[in-house]
Structure 1
Amino acid sequence: MNDQTKIDVETGRVLATVEVKKIGNSSGLIFPKELMARLNLNVGDQLYATLTPDGGVRFTPSNPDFEKAMEVARRGMKRYHNALAELAK
């Protein structure tokens, strides 16, 4: 696939080619500027990688562990709303 390949994301097809490059002692992914713009990404943004059930990788801007912890916290706040309101006085 060449750099000219751009297929719609909504169809689940490839939008662009991402290149892996050696950067010092690490490796980095090089995103084309069109893909960066389409995904609303900027240099320095953090993405979190999680494995999908089908063996793929999903990148998201939010930390999935934090989201799980916040869900537990929300349930606790709902369950103990009255006690927390009294403590807040």
Structure 2
Amino acid sequence: MNIEAQIQKVGDSLGIILPTEALQQLNGKEGTTVYLTDSGEGSVTINQSSSDLEQIVKLTEEGLDQYRNALNELAK
């Protein structure tokens, strides 16, 4: 699905007003937090949930803590 939206001035910032179709896809309403992820080649993905991202960050931090000495040695 491709939905067109324009970047608009909102106060002193810029914003994108999401059409109803996009909000329905996100199951979003006013106040819903969304996450923008770099999808490469000048595109981004908008998601309502960041559970995957939160899990990845948690596992990465645990791995860095567990293997800090080995990683430091490899970095030399």
The answer to whether the superposition gives a TM-score over 0.5 is: yes
Larger CA Rg, structure 1 vs 2: 1
In structure 2, what residue type is equivalent to 1:34?
E
Q: How many pairs were matched up?
A: 61
Q: Structure 1: which 4+ aligned runs deviate by more than 4 Å? A: 72-75
Matching residue of 1:70: 58
The structure whose residues are more often helix, as a share, is 2
39, 64, 74: which one pairs with 1:52? 39
CA separation in 2, counterparts of 1:44 and 1:25? 19
RMSD (Å), alpha carbons: 2.5
Q: TM-score normalised to the size of structure 2?
A: 0.58
Matched, 1:18 2:10: no
The structure whose residues are more often strand, as a share, is 2
Q: CA deviation at 1:22?
A: 0.6
Q: TM-score normalised to the size of structure 1?
A: 0.52
Unaligned runs of 5+ in 2: 64-76
Q: Percent identity, please.
A: 25
Instruction: Tell me: higher relative CO, structure 1 or 2? Use CA pairs within 8 A at least 6 residues apart.
Output: 2
Unaligned runs of 5+ in 1: 1-8, 76-89
